[in-house]
Structure 1
């Protein structure tokens, strides 16, 4: 379970961003689910969450409804709320959609990035390089989270944000379950750095191509995972 200190840190960050209680509850629960602190198949108790997180019933229910729409939990009548299992067989279908969304996001971000955003993308590219050199999964995850948020902000299209959000959550859950065993951190970090540098250069075709190469790799490691897990 997520620690009280981590919860307090998340709440402080979100209050600073002006988020309401339902948004804060959603982000905390999504983080707990994605990082497997609430593992697939586990039952969620609203009363326990109320005690541990300090949110009222209405914000918690709003957060759980949003998580259910995104496929992270299932709300079962008379049975409560259960964290959804990760459907291995559906990963390739999701990747097919993710490929097109990622290319659009990267392309728009490259086209629209202003000078301060371009500087941040260059800094993130350097951080991805450091993660690759140090084989540092924690640094990669932190950098990737900031990178994804900056890409969405820079792309300036709320419909892309709505579409990619649930896919990113499922992608992160798959990562936490399988990447250490089947993935290549140095390669995925380098591929992310390539996208960041293309965006920083306002190179729209280059950014789209770099995003395509990243998803080629994601598909490759997903197929490898499915093969070993008996899914293909």
Structure 2
């Protein structure tokens, strides 16, 4: 059963990924407590976790700022995510326990069956967390949380055709997950790289679209 802090974290993460709490927004603890009906202690624990994952910045004297969501930052994240995520999939192939593989198989089915963005987002987050846990490397989990979380938010907030892009992204994720379930390290790595290539392509398309409309890529 999730703790109050975990529930607060999941709620805030949903609001950030959905864009309800928009990039650059400044918030206070008191406003979040009132708005979301959260206790101060679980809220603070959730905020500390989100700060470590770089989803927010805690600015002394000003409050809590939702992290920026620029194309340039996304491309930098993907550059680093490429080798680390491939390593995560490789380690999961080698180290996942039978119980972890059973859980991953169930999550893979949920992801495959998701047809709406909300359920897909939740299933995607769960499968990404499961892969990191199955890799059994504490330092890997610290590295992957911001890379995957911020990349996921970028993708979600720039969907032009949700159903089409969700299908493309889903196929890449499923290939990587199915390779782990077979303990096929080579296929898992290749699927991970293909996923990263897709995310880079998606980000470059966003960059081109913003340039066509004269938007600042740093936004």
Match of 1:37 among 5, 12, 20: 20
Matched, 1:99 2:79: no
Cα separation, partners in 2 of 1:113 and 1:70, compared to 1, 3 Å: closer
Following superposition, the deviation at residue 189 of structure 1 comes to 0.9
Matches within 5 A, 1:7-22: 16-17=1-2, 19=3, 21=5
- 1:191 paired with 2:172, answer yes
Q: Give the 3 Å change call, closer, same or farther, for CA 128–59 of structure 1 in structure 2.
A: closer
8 Å Cα contact 2:26-2:62 kept in structure 1: no
Conserved? CA contact 1:118–1:201, under 8 Å: no
- 1:8 matched residue in structure 2: none
Match for residue 196 of structure 2? Answer: 215
Q: Distance in 1 between matches of 2:123 and 2:7?
A: 21
Residue 3 (structure 1) aligns with: none
Pairwise CA distance, 1:167: 1.4
Stretches of structure 2 lacking an aligned partner (at least 5 in a row): 212-216
Stretches of structure 1 lacking an aligned partner (at least 5 in a row): 1-15
Q: State the number of aligned residues.
A: 211
2:81–2:144 Cα contact (<8 Å) kept: yes
Tell me, what secondary structure is at the counterpart of 2:158?
Answer: helix
Give the counterpart of 2:141 among 161, 175, 188: 161
Scaled by the length of structure 2, the TM-score of the pair is 0.83
Does residue 54 of structure 2 align to residue 54 of structure 1?
Answer: no
Q: How far apart, in 2, do the equivalents of 1:72 and 1:119 lie?
A: 30
Tell which deviates more after alignment, 30-39 or 121-130.
121-130
